[in-house]
Amino acid sequence: MAYVTHDDAQSVPLAEVGEMELYHAKSWVTKYVFSQDAKVIAIQYSVTAIAIGMLGLVLSWLIRLQLGFPEVFDFITPADYYQFITMHGMIMVIYLLTALFLGGFGNYLIPLMVGARDMVFPYVNMLSYWIYLVAVLVLVASWFVPGGPTGAGWTLYPPQAILSGTPGAEGGILLMLISLALFIIGFTMGGLNYVVTVLQARTRGMTLMRMPLTIWGIFVATCLALLAFPALFVGAVMMTFDSLLGSSFFMPAIVEFGELLDYEGGSPVFFQHMFWFFGHPEVYIVALPAFGMVSDLLSVHARKNIFGYRMMVWAIVVIGGLSFIVWAHHMYVSGMNPYFGFFFATTTLIIAVPTAIKVYNWTLTLWQGNIHLTIPMLFALAFIVTFVNGGITGLFLGNVTADVPLSDTMFVVAHFHMVMGVAPLLVVFGAIYHWYPLMTGRMLDETMGQFHFWVTFLGAYAVFLPIHYLGLLGVPRRYFELTDISFIPDSVQTLSAFVTVVALIVGFAQLVFIYNLIVSRTKGEPAGRNPWRATTLEWQTAEVPPGHGNFGETLPVVYRWAYAFSVPGARDDFIPQNLPPDQVPTDGSVS
Amino acid sequence: MFVAIMLVLVAVGTVVFHFLSPWWWTPIASNWGSIDDTVTLTFWITGVVFVAIVLFMAYCVFRYRYREGRRADYTPENKKLEWWLTGLTTAGVVGLLAPGLFVWNQYVTVPEEAHEFEVVGQQWQWSYRFPGADGVLGTSAPQNISDDNPFGLNPDDPNSQDDILIEDDEVHLPLHKPAKFLLRSIDVLHDFYVPQFRAKMDLVPGMVTFFWATPTRAGTFDILCFELCGVGHHTMRGTVVVEEESAYRAWLQEQPTFAQSMTEARNGAEDDSRENLKLVLGEAEAGSTAR
Amino acid sequence: MFFFRQIVQKPWVTVEESISDLHGGAEFSLPAAKVGLWVFCAVITSLFLLFIASYSMRMSLADWRPLPEPGLLWLNTAILILSSVALQWARVNARRERIDQVKIGLFWGGGFAIAFLAGQLLVWQQLVALGFFSAANPANAFFYLFTGVHGLHLFGGLVALGRTTAKVRRDGFDMARVRLSVELCTAYWHFLLAVWLVLFGLLLLT
């Protein structure tokens, strides 16, 4: 009975937190549109992010059509192509993944999982979403200005980003910078909520080390975002100055098409430092929530505690800290002082150690588990495969020497798609299959789920694995077409066509997923309470889906960590976090 | 069972694809074989880790799949195992990093005897400049650029007078001579890359960057721009011809110096104005006869 | 250290569980709004540190020409200090529950802050009149950038101050709420004053 007996702590008075004041919706508009309920805001964030993500997906199809079948689709001009890759990249990284993980899952799960009634600043939280929406609209508006959206690549490197040789230099780049600035302002409002809610609004008994890893991942990712996004903000504001007011922060003396421009003395490399000081933490802003969620999926569906919980927490914190001192590994061949390479290669490879520990602990969680191969579990397994694959190619690119021939080749494209595209998205899918029953009260359709999983996992793997080898060959990224290059054999074109076909199939599988989301909302099998038999607080609410204020009359009190699965001596293979020790059913054995 | 088999297939398939892939390094043509070695070493170490992890997962999924009445083990952590894994990973990382830094040190240390020449990038073409008899490249500035002086050389600098200018996308390099590639852009970022050389560096306006390499194989190789530089990025190509030193010398002899090109430009300008005059006169004549 | 002690806990060990059950849930014994303000100040600090970093990087390049500091900046700085002092006075009086003094403090704090912003605009006008456009020299551009971003943050603070003033007028008797709002405003004001002193010092020294 070592794990279920417990000292009685009933007499301890509640701390100062008490009941939060809640904003009670007065009308349909304040309940569903200008809502201050984090759960509604989460749905708003998610729907908007997925909608703009669909645009990103369509752009990727157009990119693939051009690469797989050049000259067939002659409505795609080089300018279009560069606009497509730019907008695809920016949409997927910022407006889909960042918004979905933090604005979507963060809003939904933080209050529920830490046992709070809502976010601490609901009004600010609502503003956060509406500013995000405006940022998305400004981004989309860039298609409707003269010159169209910017085609500077998602890295927006000056000088070309604001010069006439790049598409969208007239208005597109300005709208992009404005949209980013708005996104950052909106995100900061949301981020304050996530951080302070985790710090201050946990329920009684919820110590830091009793929080589920999902919360740890989102919490540390939000801290990174709050400190890193200002770098992008600074870069964007300064580039706007250069573009609009003619200042020379990033612009040296330039002769553009024979004409001397009115700039002098600035340095383009400074922008790259700014961009990547944000850009590298951004990778972990996407990855850390995925790390956290996948830990919980694995644990719940393997009916086993996450292996090495403390190491997992430390790894998240250490990765978060280190992510601020590795940025220039994106710049080994940028013309910066070459001696920086020694430092940044070392820090970059050090970050591999805590990351590898996380991978080991995920697989060791499976060891001696009781693994239910549910759809969320399948996605979690696929995440590990693709994440390890994408992670080890990072060791090529982070190790300064091996990066020299590989940088700016398709190897880089394959690497970051695998590690921060495919892998986190697999977690997103797994998480949606896992938490959809909580959000709607119904299960997603299993057959469609199986189809969606296998096509997405195997398809995405088949798309990105071969692309690495094109990079080894020396195929450059961001090339509209590969005509007349002596070292590129015809087989490359065959491979590209194959990749395009598979990518289109994977793309259409996502439509099945969206269909599943819509249909199961009304026709899905009723889930009941806690269908996965999970321990965390979001499944212990008074009603499913959880109502206004989350927990009904009284807030839950937490008595144990989030991973009390298969505890010896207990009757069930899980013990909810809020079940008082004296109420835990035992199996009658004496231990 | 099915899932475990699929995981094994993914691991095996990845390895099979790796060895059967017809897409691989181009045959190397420079001294940077050590870069290839670093990549190969990384493939071996990380490949073993990847296969081991996926196979272990497949085993767990098969061995510990859900069965009625079975109970998972309860082990919150195993410090010894975790520290062992941490130690082994650290050793692996050191094994990757040490050779990498060693080669990088060579990469950033240009040998004394390397001969310098300059690559100039602009949207969307390459041109080149070699030092003349004095062995020194003259100074340059974007402000000097004009139709007559596309390289923007300083006309008052004595060092620039004998600089050899190649206003063409083809450049020749001598075999087995270390070359220091000085890189200069006059508009946006570019990147000079010959895949067979394995070495590259960005061209950044406002500064001169560099890398070095020794061509070790004669032949003609493509130069590609490897940093997005606008709508014509994919058309920014060049050629490098690696040949015996004598052939290289002969080729260099035929190229104009800065002083020559300035004189020609001046004469050309006079010729042009004479041509224009003739044209104007001709038209006037033609007009008068027609009337 | 406190954080460190927590994250080495073993949450599955029974002995530690009984201690953890006593945890109230909040990390700091402060109102959430105060923690929120501190986090927000950390974000602004990150923002201005990055501005300062880019300033010093850009300064090291060849074409840097320093900007003359108009004497008016000294006056503006003094006004901003007065604004902080007035709010500090309001804060002290909020603690002593003297609502009339609080109102006076808020009024003068807001008034001086508006005067500061007007003074900054005047400095801009002077510089433009002297021909220091933002395009002419990176030092000019940085000056406009720094003062502009700082001014925007102060402007945001004025909105919060306005709401606080309204709250004082509306429910001046609920001293707990008033006190919290006044304390938040004051802390933010002091923070922005510190930011301005650092920026001003940087401009003076270079």
Q: Is residue C19 a part of any domain in this protein? A: no
Q: What's the average model confidence in pLDDT over A111-115? A: 94
Are A192 and A216 within one domain?
no
Confidence (pLDDT) at C99: 85
What are B241-250's pLDDT values in tens digits?
999 999 999 9
Number of alpha carbons in the 13 Å side-chain half-sphere of residue C109: 33
Instruction: Quote the CA–CA distance of B245 and C63 in Å, as a whole number.
Output: 42
Are B94 and B236 within one domain?
no
Question: Which 2-31 residues of chain C touch chain A by CB within 8 A?
Answer: 3, 6-12, 14, 17-18, 20-30
Q: What's the average model confidence in pLDDT over C175-180? A: 83
Average pLDDT, chain A: 91
In chain C, the residue whose alpha carbon lies closest to the alpha carbon of A273 is C54
Q: Is residue C9 a part of any domain in this protein? A: no
Are B137 and B168 within one domain?
yes
Are B247 and B135 within one domain?
yes
Chains interfacing with C (3 or more CB pairs < 8 Å): A
Q: Is residue C5 a part of any domain in this protein? A: no
Selection from A473, A365, C44, A427 nearest residue B193 by Cα:
A473
Predicted ipTM beyond 0.90: yes
Cβ–Cβ < 8 Å for A270, A239: no
Out of A353, A393, A476, closest to residue B90 by CB: A353
Instruction: Quote the CA–CA distance of C148 and A240 in Å, as a whole number.
Output: 14
Instruction: Quote the CA–CA distance of A250 and A240 in Å, as a whole number.
Output: 11
Range of the domain at A170: 35-206
Selection from A427, A414, A491 nearest residue A457 by Cα:
A427
In this structure, what token pair is assigned to residue A523? 């026709």
What's at C63, amino acid-wise? Answer: D
Out of A157, A352, A473, closest to residue B189 by CB: A157
What are A378-390's pLDDT values in tens digits?
999 999 999 999 9
Residue B125 sits in a domain whose CATH number is 2.60.40.420
Q: What's the average model confidence in pLDDT over B163-174? A: 94
Q: Is residue C14 a part of any domain in this protein? A: no
The reply to whether C74 touches chain A by the CB within 8 Å rule is no
Residues in A touching B22 (Cβ below 8 Å): 489, 491
| Confidence bin at A11 (pLDDT 50/70/90) | very low
Q: Is residue A495 a part of any domain in this protein? A: yes
Strand partners, B166: B128
Instruction: Quote the CA–CA distance of C96 and C112 in Å, as a whole number.
Output: 23
Are B195 and B54 within one domain?
no
A/C interface, count of CB pairs below 8 Å: 177
Q: Is residue A310 a part of any domain in this protein? A: yes
Are B164 and B261 within one domain?
yes
Are A69 and A143 within one domain?
yes
Write phi, then psi, for B27 (nearest 5 degrees).
-60, 135
Exposed/middle/buried for residue C7 (C-beta within 10 Å: 0-12, 13-18, 19+): middle
What are B115-141's pLDDT values in tens digits?
999 999 999 999 999 998 888 999 999
What are C29-64's pLDDT values in tens digits?
888 999 999 999 999 999 999 999 989 888 887 778
Q: Is residue C17 a part of any domain in this protein? A: no
Cβ–Cβ < 8 Å for C17, A559: yes
Instruction: Report which secondary-structure segment, H or E, holds B183.
Output: strand B179-185
End residue of a domain, out of A469, A504, A524: A524
CA angle in degrees (0–180, nearest 5) for A563-A282-A197: 50
Confidence (pLDDT) at C167: 82
Selection from C152, C53, C50 nearest residue A231 by Cα:
C50
Cβ–Cβ < 8 Å for A215, A538: no
Contacts of A289 (CB under 8 A, 6+ apart): A101, A102, A105, A106, A214, A217, A218, A221
Q: Is residue B71 a part of any domain in this protein? A: no
Q: What's the average model confidence in pLDDT over A369-374? A: 95
Pairing of strands B208-213, B179-185: antiparallel
Residue B194 has pLDDT above 60, yes or no: yes
Instruction: Quote the CA–CA distance of A488 and C59 in Å, as a whole number.
Output: 45
Confidence (pLDDT) at C28: 85
Q: What CA–CA distances, in Å, run from B18 to A456, A461, C139?
A: 22, 14, 54
Instruction: Quote the CA–CA distance of A432 and B96 in Å, as a whole number.
Output: 38
Residue B285 has pLDDT above 70, yes or no: no
In chain A, the residue whose alpha carbon lies closest to the alpha carbon of C132 is A247
Q: What's the average model confidence in pLDDT over A154-166? A: 93
Confidence (pLDDT) at C173: 66
The alpha carbon of A538 is separated from its chain's Cα centroid by a whole number of angstroms, namely 21
Residue A204 has pLDDT above 50, yes or no: yes
The rounded radius of gyration (Å) of the Cα atoms in chain B is: 29
Confidence (pLDDT) at B281: 52
Instruction: Report which secondary-structure segment, H or E, holds B203.
Output: strand B200-203
Q: What's the average model confidence in pLDDT over B163-189? A: 94
CB contact under 8 A, A404 and B231: no
What is the number of domains present in chain A? 4
Q: Is residue B72 a part of any domain in this protein? A: no
Confidence (pLDDT) at B275: 59
Q: Is residue A104 a part of any domain in this protein? A: yes
* pLDDT above 70 as % of chain A: 96
Give the count of beta carbons closer than 10 Å to the beta carbon of residue A32.
Answer: 13
Residues in C touching A231 (Cβ below 8 Å): 46, 50
Torsion of CA A332, A334, A93, A359, to 10 degrees: 0
3-state secondary structure A376-396: HHHHHHHHHHHHHHHHHHHHH
Are B232 and B96 within one domain?
no
Scan for tokens 């939060």, then name that residue. A20
Are A151 and A50 within one domain?
yes
Are A474 and A550 within one domain?
no
User: Which of A223, A241, A551 to mutate to test binding with chain C, by most C CBs within 10 Å of its CB?
Assistant: A241
Are A554 and A511 within one domain?
no
Q: What CA–CA distances, in Å, run from C43 to A135, C14, C56?
A: 20, 39, 20
Are A43 and A148 within one domain?
yes
What are B205-237's pLDDT values in tens digits?
999 999 999 999 999 999 999 999 999 999 999
Q: Is residue C3 a part of any domain in this protein? A: no
pTM of the full structure? 0.93
Confidence (pLDDT) at C182: 92
Contacts of B169 (CB under 8 A, 6+ apart): B125, B126, B127, B223, B237, B238, B239
Q: What's the average model confidence in pLDDT over A312-325? A: 95
The rounded radius of gyration (Å) of the Cα atoms in chain C is: 22
Confidence (pLDDT) at B282: 52
Scan for tokens 């001598």, then name that residue. B174
Instruction: Quote the CA–CA distance of A540 and A560 in Å, as a whole number.
Output: 14
Residue A443 has pLDDT above 90, yes or no: yes
Confidence (pLDDT) at B107: 94
Range of the domain at B54: 2-64+79-108
What is the number of domains present in chain B? 2
Residue B276 has pLDDT above 60, yes or no: no
Exposed/middle/buried for residue A233 (C-beta within 10 Å: 0-12, 13-18, 19+): buried
In this structure, what token pair is assigned to residue C145? 């950038």
Q: What's the average model confidence in pLDDT over B155-169? A: 91
Is the bond into A454 cis (omega within 30 degrees of 0)? no
User: Which of B28, B93, B222 to mutate to test binding with chain A, by most A CBs within 10 Å of its CB?
Assistant: B93
Are A58 and A84 within one domain?
yes
The alpha carbon of A584 is separated from its chain's Cα centroid by a whole number of angstroms, namely 37
Confidence (pLDDT) at A20: 59
Residue A570 has pLDDT above 60, yes or no: yes
Buried b / exposed e along A150-179 (16+ C-beta atoms within 10 A): bbbbbbbbbbbbbbbbbbbbebbbbbbbbb
User: Which of C17, C67, C174, C195 to mutate to test binding with chain A, by most A CBs within 10 Å of its CB?
Assistant: C17
C14 vs A468 pLDDT, higher one:
A468
3-state secondary structure A97-160: HHHHHHHHHHHHHHHHHHCCCCCCCHHHHHHHHHHHHHHHHHHHHHHHCCCCCCCCCCCCCCCH
Q: Is residue A361 a part of any domain in this protein? A: no
Range of the domain at C119: 43-205
Buried b / exposed e along B120-153 (16+ C-beta atoms within 10 A): bbbbbbbbbbbbbeeeebbebebebbeeebbbbb
Q: Is residue A15 a part of any domain in this protein? A: no
What are A209-224's pLDDT values in tens digits?
999 999 999 999 999 9
Cβ–Cβ < 8 Å for A312, A292: no
Confidence (pLDDT) at B273: 58
Instruction: Quote the CA–CA distance of C81 and C194 in Å, as a whole number.
Output: 10
CB contact under 8 A, B221 and A305: no
Residue A14 has pLDDT above 50, yes or no: no
Q: Is residue C170 a part of any domain in this protein? A: yes
What are A408-442's pLDDT values in tens digits?
999 999 999 999 999 999 999 999 999 999 999 99
Range with the largest mean pLDDT of A27-41, B78-92, B252-266, C155-169: B78-92
Scan for tokens 């790259």, then name that residue. A272
The region of weakest confidence among B186-195, C68-77, C108-117 is: C68-77
Are B101 and B200 within one domain?
no
User: Which of C23, C65, C153 to mutate to test binding with chain A, by most A CBs within 10 Å of its CB?
Assistant: C23
Q: Is residue B288 a part of any domain in this protein? A: no
Are B125 and B232 within one domain?
yes
Number of alpha carbons in the 13 Å side-chain half-sphere of residue B284: 6
Are B123 and B203 within one domain?
yes
| Confidence bin at A33 (pLDDT 50/70/90) | confident
| Confidence bin at C6 (pLDDT 50/70/90) | confident
Instruction: Quote the CA–CA distance of A575 and A539 in Å, as a whole number.
Output: 12
Residues in C touching A273 (Cβ below 8 Å): 57
What is the number of domains present in chain C? 1
Instruction: Quote the CA–CA distance of C48 and C54 in Å, as a whole number.
Output: 10
Residues in chain C: 206
Residue C148 sits in a domain whose CATH number is 1.20.120.80
Residue B7 has pLDDT above 50, yes or no: yes
Are A274 and A411 within one domain?
no
Strand partners, B127: B120
Residue B287 has pLDDT above 70, yes or no: no
Contacts of A71 (CB under 8 A, 6+ apart): A481
Are B139 and B104 within one domain?
no
In this structure, what token pair is assigned to residue A334? 């940028």
Are B177 and B55 within one domain?
no
Average pLDDT, chain C: 88
Exposed/middle/buried for residue A44 (C-beta within 10 Å: 0-12, 13-18, 19+): buried
Confidence (pLDDT) at A24: 78
End residue of a domain, out of A331, A354, A388: A331
Instruction: Quote the CA–CA distance of C95 and C90 in Å, as a whole number.
Output: 9
Nearest-neighbour CA in chain A from C179: distance (Å) = 18
What are A334-353's pLDDT values in tens digits?
999 999 999 999 999 999 99
Residue B286 has pLDDT above 60, yes or no: no
Q: Is residue C1 a part of any domain in this protein? A: no
Are A316 and A423 within one domain?
no
Nearest-neighbour CA in chain B from A301: distance (Å) = 10
What are C118-146's pLDDT values in tens digits?
999 999 998 888 877 766 678 888 899 99
The reply to whether B237 touches chain A by the CB within 8 Å rule is yes
Instruction: Quote the CA–CA distance of A514 and A51 in Å, as a whole number.
Output: 11
Are B98 and B167 within one domain?
no
